[in-house]
């Protein structure tokens, strides 16, 4: 190995983050940062880590895609029978992390999780590409299969079944909303003295903003 992993480092110098600049509403602040990530043409700026856990605290994390957000929370879609779906059914708490390396920014979200309304899931499913809709039927997500050919055979079966037809949403597929209790905005700074501003939801629905030591 040519380079020691411990020697890999970068000094973050692009921007700062101050209490004077940040919006008192974390959803407005998130939209401001997300729009900047879009404007910077980052690859998949809506990619985020979703962390879930079993009731006894065994964690799992994976990359998923944000598909909507508003002041109710952050929405993703998946198979309800998947590994993450089973964990969320047993323990409806999750964490999200966005990492926008080119902007030297991270957003961390912690909250509870609920399924979105069926009508909302239907609306999103209808605008998915045709083959993506078929894929939702073909894949028993997270289940062990003997080989790739099993998945492709199942896809072909549903292609025949729904040839020249609208593909309905599977009952086992839909959206979850992460309802945040905490949202942290992290801006990389020089010498590892990063800016970290944490929003915490209060009982009255307002948000408290605190600076965290890096």
Active-site residues, by number, are 192
- 19 touches 209 (CB < 8 A): yes
Q: Distance between CA 166 and CA 130 in Å, rounded?
A: 8
Task: Return the closest-CA partner of residue 113 out of 56, 181, 60.
Answer: 181
Q: Distance between CA 184 and CA 194 in Å, rounded?
A: 12
Q: Distance between CA 106 and CA 188 in Å, rounded?
A: 8
Whole-number CA gyration radius for the chain = 20
**In sequence order, what are the beta bridge partners of 114?**
177
Q: Distance between CA 194 and CA 159 in Å, rounded?
A: 51
CB atoms within 10 A of CB 181: 14
The pair of three-digit structure tokens given for residue 168, joined into one six-digit string: 């309905």
């Amino acid at each position: 190995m040519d380079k020691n992993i411990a020697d890999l480092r970068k000094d973050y110098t692009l921007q700062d983050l101050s209490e004077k600049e940040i919006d008192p509403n974390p959803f407005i602040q998130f939209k401001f940062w997300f729009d900047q990530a879009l404007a910077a043409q980052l690859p998949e700026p809506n990619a985020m880590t979703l962390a879930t856990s079993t009731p006894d605290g065994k964690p799992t994390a994976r990359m998923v895609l944000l598909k909507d957000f508003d002041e109710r929370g952050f929405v993703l879609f998946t198979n309800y029978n998947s590994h993450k779906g089973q964990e969320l059914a047993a323990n409806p708490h999750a964490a999200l992390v966005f990492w926008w390396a080119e902007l030297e920014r991270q957003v961390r979200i912690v909250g509870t999780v609920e399924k979105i309304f069926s009508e909302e899931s239907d609306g999103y499913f209808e605008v998915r590409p045709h083959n993506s809709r078929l894929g939702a039927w073909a894949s028993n997500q997270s289940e062990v299969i003997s080989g790739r050919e099993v998945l492709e055979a199942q896809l072909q079966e549903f292609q025949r079944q729904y040839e020249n037809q609208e593909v309905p949403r599977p009952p086992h597929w839909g959206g979850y909303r992460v309802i945040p209790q905490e949202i942290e905005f992290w801006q990389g700074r020089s010498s590892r003295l990063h800016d970290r501003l944490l929003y915490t939801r209060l009982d009255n629905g307002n948000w408290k903003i605190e600076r965290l030591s890096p």
